[in-house]
Structure 1
Amino acid sequence: MALQSLVERIEHAFAPIRHVLKPILSDPSTMAVWALLVGASVGVLWWDVRKRNRALPSLMKGVWTLVVLYSGPFGLAVYRYAGRTQIDRDSLWRRGFRSTAHCYSGCGAGEIVGFAVLAGLLALESTVLTALGTFALAYLFGYALTVGPLMQEGVGFGRAVLDALYSETPSITVMEVTAIGTDLLLASQAKMTDPLFWGALALSLSVGFVFAFPINAALVYFGVKEGMKNPAEMGGDRHGGRERATD
């Protein structure tokens, strides 16, 4: 009863925002324009990686591809600010953005799979089951993207899992509470064939990123997470990085 009452109060508080966003996200033309923006953004990303940023590790190339697929021009802007070898200097904010992007790439995949399978293909009518299942997949994907690289570096499975739980749980939790909450608030009754289903999912992913960013920046600041390596150090010397940027 208490949980249901809390949910109802939240829905009531955000009703004006939902009233504005639902018609926009339900419009097929909106989704068509968004798809074009995402496609163009991915094209720009891949061109930049191929021409100027080949030094980036394969993992980060995959991370940035997923980030841009999820968030289009917003994801591309984050990449240009924090992920290229041509950045002038590293900073806490850039490290926070890279850490969030790494977390986002895995969690976003889990969220997409969760909603597509549970709410879409299986058409579960229970909001609670959909939310719990999507949470579980987001955690699984998010942790896997940390555990896998650690094990490749020679860390044992048990230690890698503990490190992932310690360093990733706060940011994953905040990201998924806000992302899944946004999606359910806007499209809990939408079918997989409805533009609203995909529009709300796309918006919710970026909302999760925005809310998780300060958490990741704080975790990096306090040493809980190391943060992803400065990409400028991957492209040879800094002068050489600038020369490549003008080719």
Structure 2
Amino acid sequence: MDHTGHHPGVSADHAGHHGHPVAGASWGTAMKATLHCLLGCAIGEILGMVVGTALGWGNVETMVLAVTLAFLFGYSFTLFSVRRAGLDLKSAVKVALAADTVSIAVMELVDNGIIALTPGAMDAHLSDGLFWSALLGGFAVAFVITTPVNKWMIGRGKGHAVVHAYH
């Protein structure tokens, strides 16, 4: 390795794709990574719920749209961040997929599971407190469950660890 921590002959861009273990990844780093994903998920999911409801769609169609938008917005935050750092689009997409897929998937699984299991939440309207309490409660529980997942992944050079090479 040279003075930058990269192997000689391996570009910083290439090294960043693989991520490197972060010894003793901190809870603070994991919480920031989780909040990053939570923000994208929340924007996408709420937008999907609003659009699906406004179009009069059923629960399944609305949930599919909400989850799709949650992934889209979750990935887009990382994508824009690493693009600003100078990464080409193809490489930036690879970094975003590597950084966020597991985090967003866990978050969406937990959040939507809580909404589905909360009696009446799936049929609640956007103006109902039950809808918002189930959604926000789901996000809170998803944050608590996803943070240790992100800490574990970052400690192994996976997930958001691949983004840190570009900050």
TM-score w.r.t. structure 1 length? 0.52
Give yes or no for contact 1:98–1:228 (8 Å, CA) kept in 2.
no
Give yes or no for contact 2:99–2:162 (8 Å, CA) kept in 1.
no
CA shift for structure 1 position 209? 1.1
Question: Among 116, 121, 144, which residue is 2:54 paired with?
Answer: 121
Paired amino acid for 2:86: G
1:184 and 2:119 matched: no
CA shift for structure 1 position 222? 0.2
CA distance, structure 2, for counterparts of residue 196 and residue 227 of structure 1: 38
Structure 1: 4+ residue segments shifted above 6 A: none
Question: Among 43, 47, 53, which residue is 1:109 paired with?
Answer: 43
Pick closer, same or farther for the CA change 1:228–1:101 going to 2, 3 Å.
Answer: farther
CA shift for structure 1 position 189? 0.8
Give yes or no for contact 1:103–1:172 (8 Å, CA) kept in 2.
yes
Pick closer, same or farther for the CA change 1:152–1:228 going to 2, 3 Å.
Answer: closer
CA distance, structure 1, for counterparts of residue 69 and residue 94 of structure 2: 18
Question: Among 21, 25, 31, which residue is 1:97 paired with?
Answer: 31
Which structure carries more helix by proportion? 1
* Aligned length in residues: 138
Paired amino acid for 1:117: V
CA distance, structure 1, for counterparts of residue 150 and residue 63 of structure 2: 23
Q: Secondary structure, in 3 states, of the residue corresponding to 1:226?
A: helix
Match of 1:175 in 2: 107
CA shift for structure 1 position 228? 8.0
The alignment's C-alpha RMSD in Å is 1.9
CA shift for structure 1 position 154? 0.5
Question: Among 132, 139, 143, which residue is 2:75 paired with?
Answer: 143
CA distance, structure 1, for counterparts of residue 61 and residue 37 of structure 2: 23
CA distance, structure 2, for counterparts of residue 227 and residue 150 of structure 1: 10
Give yes or no for contact 2:82–2:163 (8 Å, CA) kept in 1.
no
Give yes or no for contact 1:95–1:227 (8 Å, CA) kept in 2.
no
TM-score w.r.t. structure 2 length? 0.76
Give yes or no for contact 2:95–2:162 (8 Å, CA) kept in 1.
no
Matches within 5 A, 1:20-99: 92-99=26-33
CA shift for structure 1 position 106? 1.0
Match of 2:18 in 1: none
Pick closer, same or farther for the CA change 1:227–1:155 going to 2, 3 Å.
Answer: closer
Of structures 1 and 2, the one with the larger relative CO (CA 8 A, separation 6+) is: 2
CA distance, structure 2, for counterparts of residue 109 and residue 170 of structure 1: 18
CA distance, structure 2, for counterparts of residue 106 and residue 95 of structure 1: 17
Paired amino acid for 1:151: R
Pick closer, same or farther for the CA change 1:227–1:94 going to 2, 3 Å.
Answer: farther
Q: Secondary structure, in 3 states, of the residue corresponding to 1:141?
A: helix
> Is there any run of 5+ residues in structure 1 with no aligned partner, and where?
1-89, 230-247
Give yes or no for contact 2:95–2:163 (8 Å, CA) kept in 1.
no
Q: Looking at CA atoms only, which structure, 1 or 2, has the larger radius of gyration?
A: 1
Q: Secondary structure, in 3 states, of the residue corresponding to 2:57?
A: coil
> Is there any run of 5+ residues in structure 2 with no aligned partner, and where?
1-23
